[in-house]
Amino acid sequence: MKLLILRTLVGPTRLRSTVHKASICSSALQWESGVSLVQGASRGIGLEFASANSIRERYGRLNLLINASGVLSIPDVLQPETTLTKVQKSSLMFAYEVNAVGPILVIKHMWPLLKAGGGSGTERDVAIVANLSARVGSIGDNRFGGWHSYRSSKSALNQLTKTISVEFARKDPIACILLHPGTVDTDLSKPFQRNVPDGKLFTKEFSVQKLLGIIDNVKIRDNGKFFAWDGQEIPW
């Protein structure tokens, strides 16, 4: 099934004291293979968008939900910690809100709309929820330490996603998966690209195509799994 990924427009971030918010506009569109929604806020809690009612009224269902929101660093606000002595409560809470809390609340509110199916000739027996995680969120794969807020917030996303997948398995034909896109040439990774080995910094186009290939082949048996960009499973 060919999937159409739609852009999420991210509005300017307003920083007021310790309150961090972002205004976003998420879009959904019906095409021959179903309805998809990409939630891609990069700041704030991630629930602050007004598309849920419009999707219900216009389409009545959602076949694919991708949660792509994430934050790693913001100048003068959040920086990856290189040592425990740099860990702060504000950084931990902010990372958790964006990287874990936001995506899970989006799933909660979109759950009633998640339905299997698609257009003529493209019927599927499972709806898909794909959360963008990161390999550094893997506890078993943690060999270097550091980045306490980012690592632990992605670990929280992984655990929440796994827990949701167990509930989905009991109630609905929905496959909820986690995806590691690799190190991609984006604003998120730009301050840290000097440490990326040759050939391991991917273009956005390459990473997205790899992830779409995984999503396109998801079966109900993949519910609750954590995949890297190359299709290999990542240890928890």
The answer to whether 150 is a known catalytic residue is yes
What tokens were used for 120? 């003529």
Q: Tokens in use for 45?
A: 């809690």
Q: Is 147 left (phi over 0), alpha (psi -120 to 50) or beta?
A: left
DSSP state of 74: B
Is-contact 106 46, C-beta < 8 A? yes
Is 59 marked active-site? no
List Cα–Cα distances, 121 to 1, 30, 32, 118, 195, in angstroms.
9, 15, 9, 8, 46
> Of the listed 59, 108, 150, 210, which one is catalytic?
150
Catalytically annotated residue among 2, 21, 154, 190 = 154
Length of the chain: 236
Q: Which positions are annotated as active-site residues?
A: 150, 154
